[in-house]
Chains A and B, each alone.
Chain A
């Protein structure tokens, strides 16, 4: 079955610094990959998705992610962090397996942005 592992449950960066949130996937077939963001007391919002059209995917709010098959990674980056980026970020993989079709989320990474 497809799964994702997010490295680091908490990441802290200074305002203006590079944001790097790590996600590694496990899939026997080319996967569909997503990044979501969740602000306090809200649902999840789609940041970007990878569907094999291009390995570098640009999303909303200046975020982008690069699909690297050789590393089975789909890390999320943003060149310059803003205070408003503080939130919980989830990586997810979608696909089929013996148990059916599913969308599996990682455990999430909480991003803290300090002034």
Chain B
């Protein structure tokens, strides 16, 4: 089975711009979760989608949004980028989703740099 695929791998944007990151989950997985990882804050949960519905949301401003398509692929969007948005953004898929005993399977992330 192919793993979780995130594109692009690296991204450089300017303050004020917006960005869209893409995630293709493992085939058959209906849950996709997004995380932001920075050296200072560690792993922070953004949101989880299950069968196209947002099931859980972390404590991030409204500039961060996401969606999931009928084929379970997911995108996250960050508008009006700030320098502090520079981070590794990780996507993870699972069969049952968060809160259950099915583990998350992570992609290699998208490294976003905001200048």
Contacts and interface: CB of A to CB of B under 8 A. Distances in A.
A107 B84 CA distance: 19
Q: How large is the interface on B (under 10, 10 to 19, 20 to 34, 35 or more residues)?
A: 20 to 34
Interface in B87-115: 90, 92, 97-101, 103-109, 111
A32 B103 CA distance: 9
Contacts of A95: 99
A34 B49 CA distance: 21
Interface string A35-72: 01000011111100101000000000000000000000
Interface string B22-57: 000000000001000000001101000000000110
Nearest to A34: B103
A43 B98 contact: no
Contacts of B4: 43
Q: How large is the interface on A (under 10, 10 to 19, 20 to 34, 35 or more residues)?
A: 20 to 34
B103 A100 contact: no
Interface in B6-28: 6
B105 A46 contact: yes
B98 A101 contact: yes
B107 A43 contact: yes
A46 B108 contact: no
B105 A100 contact: no
B42 A43 contact: no
Contact of A102 (B42, B45, B107, B108): B45
18 contacts: A41-B108, A41-B111, A42-B108, A43-B92, A43-B106, A43-B109, A44-B90, A44-B92, A44-B106, A45-B106, A46-B103, A94-B99, A101-B55, A101-B98, A101-B99, A102-B56, A102-B98, A103-B99
